[in-house]
Amino acid sequence: MLEDLGNLGDFVGGIGVAVTLVYLAIQIRSNTREVEENSRLLGLQAHQSVGERCSDVIFEVAKDAELFQIWTAGLNFEEDRDPKIVERYGMILHKLFMSLEDAENFSEYDERVRERIERLEIHWLRSPSVQDWWSRQRIAYSDSFRSRIDAQIRHLNAGEDTTSVELPAA
Which range among 11-20, 37-46, 153-162 shows the weakest confidence by mean pLDDT?
A: 37-46
Confidence at 170, pLDDT banded by 50, 70, 90: very low
* Alpha carbons 80 and 117: distance in angstroms, whole number: 32
> pLDDT per residue over 117-168, tens digit each?
788 888 889 999 999 999 999 999 999 899 989 999 999 999 866 554 444 4
> pLDDT per residue over 104-115, tens digit each?
776 666 677 778
CA 117 from centroid of its chain's CA atoms = 6
Residue 17 has pLDDT above 70, yes or no: yes
Burial class (CB in 10 A: 0-12, 13-18, 19+), 78: exposed
- Percentage of the residues of the chain whose pLDDT score is greater than 90: 22
Q: pLDDT at position 24, please?
A: 86
